[in-house]
Amino acid sequence: MEDFVYFFTFQDPSIAWVVLGITLLGVGSAYVGTFSFLDKKALLGDAISHAVLPGICLGFVLAGEKNPVYIVTGAFLSGAVATFLSSWLKRNTKLSEDTIIATILSVFFGFGIVLLTALQKSGNPEVAGLNSFIFGNAIGISESDLLLYGGLALAIILVLTVALKEFRLMVFDPEFGKAIGFPMKAITFLFNVLMILAVVIGIQAIGVVLMAALLITPGAAARFWTDRLNPLLILAAFFSVVSGILGTYVSFVIPQMPTGPWVVVFLSLFAVVSFLVSPKSGMLFRYFARKKYLTKTHREHLLKALYKAKENGRPGLTIDEIYELYPFQKPETKQSITDLEKLNFIDKNQQIIDLTSKGVTEAMRVVRLHRLWELYLNESMNIAPDHVHDSAEQLEHLITPELEAMLEQRFNFPALDPHQEPIPRPEKK
């Protein structure tokens, strides 16, 4: 608890700096990542983040020490080479995109490992710090590093905000952008530059292997909550910043814990929660919506069966007869009967179930929609009368009052459906 207060009140200026850095970094990479996610190029970020390793090593060799400027430049250049190579290979060979990305990723990383091992064997004591690039350590970032990384992150955020319209075009409709005169190639190039930059500044905190998560996961998680670009970007940035701060907190409390993995775990937590509970596209929501719809259709089928029994001059159906109508669905049928009783649509009279007057009106509505649709299919779509039942069986639950009125008008309130059965309407008072 003490740690918690100490950390979150930012008494320690170095903590404040690190949190500021992580925030900027999170916002920057979430922005870039969301665009690349929408562009279906999420894994290119993974390839770039592995590909910067040789650049980091070369930058280190040239500077002779852990100089952030050399390292960032080296990382940027090798990321750029990887990006260029992947688009060149895609244009000029028959290899599929995922093969190209996996190839670039592993070859660059392998080469990076060769350089790293050679450096480690050279005995330079400064080399030890290079390992933090693989797993990341946000707490270990010095203030001068932070100035560089934070400044770059700020630059990324600014460019993306200023040129939001152009990047929106690039993601959603590049052909249209080209047609109305935007230099789409230059915009794509600029975007690639921003993406490489985001990766380069991220690896210090998150590490080479896990940087992909910082690009992909926030966008994917936020996508479940909204369909609009601006809220999407804001939400992705929010997820990313919160996970970043939580991850830093964990590695502050337990010093031997690397930051990167914890950030990723928190991010994934956000993502999984989003997949499950978000309204409209979440799994739970879809599950319940489907269940609700299924009970509704079953209820309406039951009403229809009772109405047909009435048409045939019977007083109602016994419970056993109803169960026999829907074999293997006994619990659902039982549930429907209870629901209909509660809605006051049916009456239970000594094992015999009959429609109430309210139930008759509702049953008439369903039967009317069913038969109207059959008539429509038969008359207007030229489908044989013996083929129209199945479609009507589904559409009867979906047709809206507006559509019903249109169908009624079109056939001028017909009396019979294609099977010569009456189309029921409530009597006018």
Partner 1 sequence: MSFDTNAFLIIFTGSLIAISCGFLGVFMMLRKMSMTGDAISHAVLPGIVIGFFVSGSQRSLEVIIGAGLLGILATLMIDWLRKKARVQLDASIGITFTLLFAIGIILVNVLAYKVDLDQECVLYGEIAYLPIDSWITQNGLNLGPRITWLAGLNFVFVCGFIYLLFKELALTSFDENFSSVMGLPSKGINLALMSIVSYTTVSSFESVGAILVVALLVVPPATAFLWTKSLIPLLKLTAVMGVLIALLGYYLAYWIDSSIAGMMVTVAGVFFLISALIHSKKPLWLRGTSPHAQPLELK
**CA 295, 300, 304, 307 torsion: positive or negative?**
positive
> H/E/C letters for each residue in 41-66?
CHHHHHHHHHHHHHHHHHHHHHHCCC
Of residues 52 and 375, the one with the C-beta less far from partner 1: 52
Nearer to partner 1 (CB atom), residue 149 or residue 270: 270
Taking the C-alpha atoms of residue 19 and residue 322, their distance in angstroms, rounded to an integer, is 65
CB 31, min distance to partner 1, A: 16
- With vertex at residue 234, the alpha carbon angle to CA 233 and CA 235, rounded to the nearest 5 degrees, is 95
Q: Which is nearer to partner 1, 216 or 309 (CB)?
A: 216
Nearer to partner 1, 103 or 295 (CB): 103
Neighbours of 14 (CB within 10 A): 13
* Residue located via tokens 């169908």: 407
Q: Which two tokens stand for residue 154?
A: 């700020």
Separation of alpha carbons 390 and 103, rounded Å: 51
Asked whether the beta carbons of 211 and 203 are under 8 A apart, the reply is: yes
Give the tokens for residue 265. Answer: 């775990």
In angstroms, rounded to a whole number, what is the distance separating the alpha carbons of residues 410 and 174?
A: 44
What is d(CA 24, CA 263) in angstroms, rounded to the nearest whole number? 14
Q: How far is the CB of 14 from partner 1 (least distance, A)?
A: 22
Q: At closest approach, how far in Å is the CB of 106 from partner 1?
A: 3
Q: Which is nearer to partner 1, 242 or 319 (CB)?
A: 242
In the complex with partner 1, which residue's Cβ is closer, 50 or 310? 50
Amino acid, res. 403: L
Cβ 204 to partner 1 shortest distance, Å: 16
The binding site for partner 1 (CB under 8 A) comprises: 37, 40-43, 45-46, 50, 88-89, 91-96, 98-103, 105-118, 121, 131, 134-135, 209-210, 212-213, 215-217, 219-220, 256-258, 260-262, 264-265, 268, 271, 275-276, 281, 283
- Dihedral sign from CA coordinates of 121, 126, 129, 134: negative
How far CA 415 is from CA of 199, 360, 378, 408, in Å, comes to 70, 18, 15, 10
Distance between terminal CA atoms of the chain? Answer: 73
Q: How far is the CB of 21 from partner 1 (least distance, A)?
A: 20
Of the pair 49, 333, the CB lying nearest partner 1 is at: 49
Two tokens at 423? Answer: 């189309």
Q: Name the minimum Å distance from CB 70 to partner 1.
A: 21
For the CB of residue 116, give the shortest distance to partner 1 in the complex, in Å: 8
- Closer of 119 and 395 to partner 1 (Cβ): 119
Least distance (Å) between residue 33 CB and partner 1? 10
